[in-house]
Chains A and B, each alone.
Chain A
Amino acid sequence: MIVGERKPMEELLGMIEDFERILVLGCKGCVTVCCAGGPKEVKTLSTLIRMDRKQKGRKVITIEASTELQCEPESIRPILEKMANQYDVVLSMACGAGVQTVAKLFPDKLVLPALNTNFTGIAEEHGVWTEACLACGDCVLGRTAGICPVTLCAKGLLNGPCGGASEGKCEVSKDQPCAWQEIYHALKRLNRLHYLKQKPQVKDWPVHPGRVVREDLREVETT
């Protein structure tokens, strides 16, 4: 899932300083799971905005809404079109992709991000998330026992540990295990150590911005 964190209130309040009618728009996808931008967090942020304005004796109208997935135009359009005249600015609590989808669909409305999008990660436990995938576009997990060296190795090495690893820990931090040592132990456990003897493949690093096209799914032109 995509993991994000709410921006500090000072930054958020500064961004919305000039506006009186604010649509706080959550997303029921990844950011709900990581408790950063779902319906609950929309309510919390809206309340904090109203409380701040009330203290300052300034007017504000907050509208609370959440889309199923803010990165999907179909789930945003009906909500935003219905309320188009009721807000001046959208404060999006989705990831960066959600914010940009709203901006693209509604070019006449200003969209502001309420979250900092951190990474694609795993929930280690409720309240702890760690980075797991860099979306490199050429997955090597099949050769590394499901442990990603691109993400978890500080140097992103593809052919074994560097000389900096010591007692199973990365030289970057004593708390960070050496990804390649973990890969070695996992492959040994799975009786697949011979994978390490395979010639490392040349990695097809993607060119940004990425684009995936599936012709079989695209709209058919009938004319």
Chain B
Amino acid sequence: MDNFEPLIAVFSCHYCSYAAADLAGSSRIQYPPNIRIIKVPCTGRVSVNHILMALEDGSDGVYVAGCLKGTCHFIRGNYKAEKRVQYVKDLLSEINIEPERVQMYFMSAAEGTKFANVALEMTEAIKKIGHSPLNKSRS
């Protein structure tokens, strides 16, 4: 378990967190290499099935990173994503998978440091929870 390096899928909004990741990169801010970013036009596009598919296909954790509340380019996309994330958490609880494996974060395009901190926070959290029960075989 000590060497466990989780695989985390990130659904990242084009208008904020993706730009924040870019900023983190160009500012040479280090963040764990455990995350795999999937760019979406808005977090409102992320459906319940997208998150479940990521978990089923091998992610130990998933988080959705959208714009700060009140700043969504499409007005309500991040609020919708937040509700869907909560719905997925409830679904996971129903089949005895830790709901903490799925999280929602909000950040602006100017927050490269926050992007890196969130990546670190999520990686540490998933390391504590351990392997996903769906891919015990992966080291």
Interface residues, chain B, with chain A CB atoms under 8 Å away:
47-49, 52-53, 55-56, 91, 94-97, 133-134
Whether A47 and B96, one on each chain, are in contact in the complex, defined by CB atoms closer than 8 angstroms, is: no
When the two chains form the complex, which single residue of B47, B48, B49, B134 contacts A51, counting CB atoms closer than 8 Å? B134
Q: Is A163 an interface residue (CB 8 A)?
A: no
A40 to B96, CA, bound (A): 22
From A50, A54, A55, contact of B96 by CB (8 A): A55
Q: Give 4 nearest A-B pairs by CB, closest first.
A: A9-B94, A47-B52, A55-B133, A52-B95
Q: Given the known A-B contacts A40-B47, A43-B49, A47-B49, are A10 and B56 also in contact in the complex, defined by CB atoms under 8 Å? A: no
| Binary per-residue interface labels of chain A (35-46) against chain B in the complex, 1 for a CB within 8 Å, 0 otherwise | 000001001100
Kindly state the separation between the CA atoms of A51 and B96 in the bound complex, as whole angstroms. Answer: 10
Q: How many residue-residue contacts, CB under 8 A, span A and B?
A: 39
Q: Is the CB of B52 within 8 A of A40?
A: no
How many A residues have CB within 8 A of the partner chain?
14
Contacts of B96 in A (CB 8 A): 52, 55
Report A-chain residues with C-beta under 8 Å of the C-beta of B47.
40
Given A40-B47, A44-B48, A44-B49, A51–B55 Cβ distance below 8 Å?
A: yes
Q: Name the residue on B nearest A47 (C-beta).
A: B52
Q: Are B53 and A47 in contact (CB under 8 A)?
A: yes
Q: Are A44 and B94 in contact (CB under 8 A)?
A: no
What are 8 residue pairs bridging A and B, where the CB atoms are less than 8 Å apart in the complex?
A9-B94, A47-B52, A48-B52, A48-B91, A51-B55, A52-B96, A55-B95, A55-B134
Report whether B97 and A47 are in contact in the complex, using a CB–CB cutoff of 8 Å.
no
Flag A162-193 by CB within 8 Å of B: 1 or 0 each.
00000000000000000000000000000000
- A10-B52 Cα distance, complex, nearest whole Å: 18
Distance in angstroms from B127 CB to nearest chain A CB is 20
Q: Mark A1-32, 1 if CB is under 8 A from B, else 0.
A: 00000001110010000000000000000000
- The answer, among A8, A13, A40, A51, for a CB contact under 8 Å with B56, is A51
The docked-state distance in angstroms from the alpha carbon of A13 to that of B53 is 19
**Which A residues touch B134, using CB under 8 A?**
51, 54-55
CA distance A70 to B115 in the complex (A): 47
Least CB distance from B114 to A in Å reads: 31
Give the residues in chain B near A50, CB-CB below 8 Å. 56
Inter-chain contact B56/A55, CB cutoff 8 Å: no
Beyond A54-B134, A55-B133, A55-B134, whether A48 also contacts B49 by CB under 8 A is: no
Q: Hey, which chain A residues are within 8 Å of B53, CB to CB? A: 47
Q: How far is the CA of A9 from the CA of B96 in the complex (A)?
A: 10
Q: Are the CB atoms of B91 and A44 closer together than 8 Å?
A: yes
Chain A residue, CB-CB nearest to B133: A55
Interfacial chain A residues near B95, Cβ < 8 Å: 9, 13, 48, 51-52, 55
Rounded to whole angstroms, the CA-CA distance of A52 and B47 in the bound complex is 20
The answer to whether B94 and A47 touch across the interface, beta carbons within 8 angstroms, is: no
CB distance from A134 to the nearest CB of B (A): 30
Contacts of A51 in B (CB 8 A): 52, 55-56, 95, 97, 134
Q: A55's contact among B48, B49, B52, B97, by CB below 8 Å, is which?
A: B97
In the complex, the answer to whether A48 meets B94 with C-beta atoms within 8 Å is yes
Is there contact, CB below 8 Å, between B52 and A8?
Answer: no
Query: Complex formed: what's the CA distance from A47 to B94 in Å?
Result: 13
